[in-house]
Amino acid sequence: MEPADRETATGLPPGIAAAREELTPMLSQYADLCAAHEDALVLFQVGDFYEAFCEAAETVARVCEVTLTERSDSTGDYPMAGIPIDNAAPYLESLLDAGYRVALGDQVEDAEQASGLVDRAVTEVITPGTVVEDDLLESGTTNYVAAVAADGGGGAGGGADPSSETVGLAAVDVSTGECLVTSGDRDAVAGELDRIAPAELIAGPDAPDFDPADAERGWTTHEYDDRAFDRRRATERLEPYLPAPDRRFDADAELRAAGAVLAYAEYTQGDDGPLGYVTRVRRYDPRDRLRLDAAAQRSLELFENRGLGASDTLFDALDETNCALGRRCLERWLRRPLVDADAIRSRHDAVGELADRSLAREGVADALATAYDLERLASRVSRGRADARDLRSLHRTLAVVLELKATLAGAEGERETSGEARASGGADGDGSTLPRTDHLGDLRDRLDELTEVRDLIDAAIAADPPQEITEGGVIREGFDGDLDDLRATEREGREWVADLEASERERTGIDSLSVGHNQVHGYYIEVTDANLDRVPDDYRRRQTLKNSERYVTPELKEREEEIVGAAERADALEYELFVDVRERVAAETERIQGLADALAELDALTSLATVAVEGDYVRPELRANPDGGVAIEGGRHPVVERTEDSFVPNDADLPRGSVAVITGPNMSGKSTYMRSVALAIVLAQTGSFVPAQAASLPVFDRLFTRVGASDDIAGGQSTFMREMSELTEILHDADADSLVLLDEVGRGTATTDGRAIARAAAEFLHDELGATALFATHYHGLTDLAEERERVFNLHFTATREDGDVTFLHRVVPGASSSSYGVEVAELAGVPGPVVDRARDLVAAEEAERGRDPSGPEPEGPTDEAAAADEGGPDDGDRDGDASLREFLAEEASEQRDGGGPAAGDSAAETPTEGDRAQSSNEADGEAAPGSSPDLAAALRDLDLARMTPIEALNALHDLQSRADDDG
């Protein structure tokens, strides 16, 4: 959106401002609301429509694709555009998507009762982070608005020392009332923001810049009234939410962020005072959870998958939840796996119990599937936005609680027998009652039946009420005596009218006489012209039609007034009674939210149990010894196994603090293997079972991943620089309680530099940090680290060649790979024979060159040769120089990127230039083969392999092949 466009559409549109003095009272009211909401586009209720005027109208017409019309009054003509209130959601969504905040200027008094201009006020400001409308929200995901504030150190322009700075972060989900508060240094808070993934971020005056320049961060950032971040104001703001707020937080920055985010939330909800349903303002410490930053979440494809289908994520593999509450809970759990071993075991207990007892599990799942979104219902009730149908939904969900309790019910004695059942293997068939574990037992206790609320709704609200709450039919008969009397009067009156036709026909002898009703004249008696002579004296003419006359009688008039009066009073009374019932339910918001939490957890656990059973997962044993490592038997990748016909399980045995260097051909399964190990950790610490035959796992505090540049391209932003800054972060922050995954680190630069960086990083991880690490690499020279370092060992993947076909076994085996198979893989992919032959020659030439000229581009050093000698594999020469086709070309490409000059770190004097290299190769080759025509060779050299995805590389090879065919 153009800034100019935003300026004229939000706040007071210039066209209205220009005419401000002459405006009619209604447009003047519009102008006032616009002026009070400078950062929002005001939609102004006029009857059944939301209207906007002048420049704002133009924006609404364009964004919502509605017609731009004109409003003309005595003061002039104004462009106008409107959207129907009944079906506003899709239009509001378009405005939000276009980056607008929308203030709803609603009529706040009954138009019929208003004397003069109807009063209007902004009842809600809809913003991406604070929407509460179900139509605009995804049911299974949380929607946070967050605020950041900073104490000490350097703020945005402060220039002081950022290391002494504490950044406070508060996030609130306005649709459910959840509010989280934490603090840390800049990086920690940036990590938390990635985890929370707010839809909107508001920044305090001194907050560091967390602008999502990085396209992967989806939130919009904007400034909000600085005063909201003031310590005193924030304290006052927080008082209704939690007593003595200044003693509840660890840092002023937390308190100020929390005060500001709630001020903003209140503002968007119409500035009507504290939000009664925000009852759970919780402070947390990020260190109490497994820390997974955005890079780890992304590369492990927890919630997003760029390569495969969008639904091929870990979350999708785990999501067998039955209701929106459970889905959001599971998402929260997966974003913040636990680090407390007892808490993890407790979840495993519950999952195990639910997994063991299929009938009970299915019973729980079926019951939960009928539960409504209690959290959002509770917040609607509390905000006074719930209608009678919402209360009925609440009632139905409370009935589910009874069912669940019955399913989970366990007599006290049964818990004792459960110990025996588990000890004896626990396979007790089914039909036995849950719960046997403390965790499920506690959950059952937390399932608050809320009997009073259920009974109240049942007694008060009609079984199938209309959506509208002002037009009657909402309150059940028998709930209120006065209402019943009024409805009886109305009913009797209508019955009297219904009988009137028959009695008047009899009295007058007019068989065609009829009784009817219309909006304008009310009840009438209609007589055709042919019978007018028989009309009695007490009939008063009301209306003359073409062939008939309509009459009333004094009694009919009286009855009509009685009926209308009773109906109006009954409707008004119903509304009052409804509001009263809603307020009484709202008084129990906290209990309803407590129940919602319990249902959500139960659903998440049931989902994990279902996945465990259906996916053949095993309960991981948590290492009691804090120094224990990872031991997985027959581990699988939970997402890849769903897309591969035959997934090959692999073992993993990683002592604590060890570094596994993993080599093997492209596509052999290195990345998949490393991720399987990391995902087992994430799953286990989330409380899930893991896809393996057996697993014994430690509890890690942090999980870091760094995947090669080509695997992580996001909108062209992946650069070697970024790769290095992520590596820096890992080397800075990882420790003995971290699991680190490094996938082809260093491949975004020249080979010499890349392998040097990879080696140095591996050494540092091992020597200085003691982190447990998996390190996949094509730099075979790295494998000799195993000889030099105590806790470094090699693993590799192999391929077999049979009848010219290479088959990837996807099986991990100890030791270093003997070949990178780069050229073979190229051949397999269909690269033309002459290109493959030429590549082999180039490999050989490079090795020969290194052998001849010790001052040439840096070989791996003596350690490489030692390893090669030890290994004695079939392709020892390969290992020495990392001379796969791919790397050679990558080196070429990176040199070319650097302007055709020597790669960084190489000696300028001794590195051949691009031209030299091409020439010498041609000379070495003698006659140019068809495939090595200068064009083709140049095209091959031009390929920027370090920046290509495998598919792009294959396509490029395909093109080259076609060209070679043409040449040939």
Ligand X SMILES: Nc1ncnc2c1ncn2[C@@H]1O[C@H](COP(=O)(O)OP(=O)(O)OP(=O)(O)O)[C@@H](O)[C@H]1O
Instruction: Specify binding-site residues for ATP.
Output: 664-671
Distance CA 157, CA 640 (A): 47
Total H helices, total E strands in the chain: 34, 27
Q: How many residues bind ligand X (CB under 6 A)?
A: 14
Distance CA 808, CA 797 (A): 8
Between the alpha carbon of residue 59 and those of residues 36, 76, 82, 700, the distances in Å are: 19, 20, 11, 51
| Cβ 868 to ligand X shortest distance, Å | 21
CB 584 within 8 A of CB 479: no
Contact flag: residue 50 with ligand X (CB under 6 A): no
Q: Report helix, strand or coil for 525.
A: strand
Contact flag: residue 954 with ligand X (CB under 6 A): no
| Cβ 630 to ligand X shortest distance, Å | 17
Cα 254 off chain centre by: 24
Closer to ligand X by CB, 82 or 664: give it.
664
Distance CA 824, CA 246 (A): 67
Among 143, 144, 278, 286, residue whose Cα is nearest residue 202: 144
Contact flag: residue 822 with ligand X (CB under 6 A): no
Q: How many residues does the chain have?
A: 968
Cα–Cα–Cα angle for 799, 800, 801, rounded to 5 degrees: 125
Site string for ligand X, 127-146 (x = CB under 6 A): --------------------
Q: HSE of 171 in the Cβ direction (CA atoms, 13 Å)? A: 23
Which region, judged by CB under 6 A, interacts with ligand X, from 27-35, 194-202, 641-649, 829-837?
641-649
Closer to ligand X by CB, 212 or 634: give it.
634
Closer to ligand X by CB, 766 or 778: give it.
778
Distance CA 542, CA 464 (A): 38
Closer to ligand X by CB, 130 or 668: give it.
668
For the segment 345-374, give every residue that binds ligand X (CB under 6 A): none
Closer to ligand X by CB, 193 or 799: give it.
799
CB 182 within 8 A of CB 285: yes
| Cβ 677 to ligand X shortest distance, Å | 12
Radius of gyration of the chain from Cα atoms?
36
Closer to ligand X by CB, 269 or 676: give it.
676
| Cβ 666 to ligand X shortest distance, Å | 3
Site string for ligand X, 671-700 (x = CB under 6 A): xx----------------------------
Contact flag: residue 780 with ligand X (CB under 6 A): no
Closer to ligand X by CB, 780 or 810: give it.
810
Among 703, 662, 699, residue whose Cα is nearest residue 684: 699
Q: Report helix, strand or coil for 339.
A: coil
CB 181 within 8 A of CB 281: yes
Q: Which residue has the tokens 């396509």?
A: 955
Closer to ligand X by CB, 291 or 670: give it.
670
Measured at CB, which residue is nearest to ligand X?
Answer: 669
Contact flag: residue 807 with ligand X (CB under 6 A): no
Binding ligand X by CB under 6 A: which of 80, 137, 199, 640?
Answer: 640
CB 820 within 8 A of CB 884: yes
Partnered with residue 927 across adjacent β-strands are none
CB 776 within 8 A of CB 669: no
| Cβ 671 to ligand X shortest distance, Å | 3
| Cβ 670 to ligand X shortest distance, Å | 4
Distance CA 101, CA 145 (A): 13
Contact flag: residue 746 with ligand X (CB under 6 A): no
Closer to ligand X by CB, 453 or 674: give it.
674
The two structure tokens encoding residue 393? 């939904």
Amino acid identity for residue 879 in this structure: R
The two structure tokens encoding residue 366? 């079926």
Between the alpha carbon of residue 360 and those of residues 232, 355, 356, 399, 403, the distances in Å are: 53, 9, 9, 18, 11
Contact flag: residue 823 with ligand X (CB under 6 A): no
| Cβ 839 to ligand X shortest distance, Å | 17
Closer to ligand X by CB, 210 or 797: give it.
797
For the segment 384-443, give every residue that binds ligand X (CB under 6 A): none
| Cβ 307 to ligand X shortest distance, Å | 8
Closer to ligand X by CB, 606 or 650: give it.
650
For 81-91, b where at least 16 C-beta lie within 10 A, e where not — what string? Answer: bbbebeebeeb
Contact flag: residue 705 with ligand X (CB under 6 A): no
Contact flag: residue 894 with ligand X (CB under 6 A): no
Contact flag: residue 884 with ligand X (CB under 6 A): no
Contact flag: residue 45 with ligand X (CB under 6 A): no
Partnered with residue 222 across adjacent β-strands are 202
Closer to ligand X by CB, 344 or 795: give it.
795
Contact flag: residue 820 with ligand X (CB under 6 A): no
| Cβ 610 to ligand X shortest distance, Å | 24
Contact flag: residue 59 with ligand X (CB under 6 A): no
For the segment 196-255, give every residue that binds ligand X (CB under 6 A): none
| Cβ 741 to ligand X shortest distance, Å | 11
Distance CA 587, CA 590 (A): 8
Contact flag: residue 810 with ligand X (CB under 6 A): yes
Partnered with residue 168 across adjacent β-strands are 149, 183
For the segment 309-348, give every residue that binds ligand X (CB under 6 A): none
Annotated binding site: 664-671
**Sign of the dihedral through C-alpha 623, 629, 635, 637:** positive
Closer to ligand X by CB, 456 or 782: give it.
782
| Cβ 392 to ligand X shortest distance, Å | 49
| Cβ 641 to ligand X shortest distance, Å | 8
Partnered with residue 541 across adjacent β-strands are 551
The two structure tokens encoding residue 858? 């840096």
Closer to ligand X by CB, 69 or 305: give it.
305
Distance CA 32, CA 34 (A): 5
Strand ordering across the sheet containing 772-776? 291-292, 702-707, 738-743, 772-776, 659-663, 792-802, 805-814
Cα–Cα–Cα angle for 939, 940, 944, rounded to 5 degrees: 95
For the segment 643-672, give every residue that binds ligand X (CB under 6 A): 644, 647-648, 650, 664, 666-672
Closer to ligand X by CB, 606 or 666: give it.
666
Alpha helices in 550-588 (DSSP H): 554-586
Q: Which residue has the tokens 């006659």?
A: 927
| Cβ 695 to ligand X shortest distance, Å | 16
| Cβ 640 to ligand X shortest distance, Å | 5
| Cβ 831 to ligand X shortest distance, Å | 15
The two structure tokens encoding residue 706? 């760094």
The two structure tokens encoding residue 470? 């002002």
Q: Which residues bind ligand X (CB under 6 A)?
A: 640, 644, 647-648, 650, 664, 666-672, 810
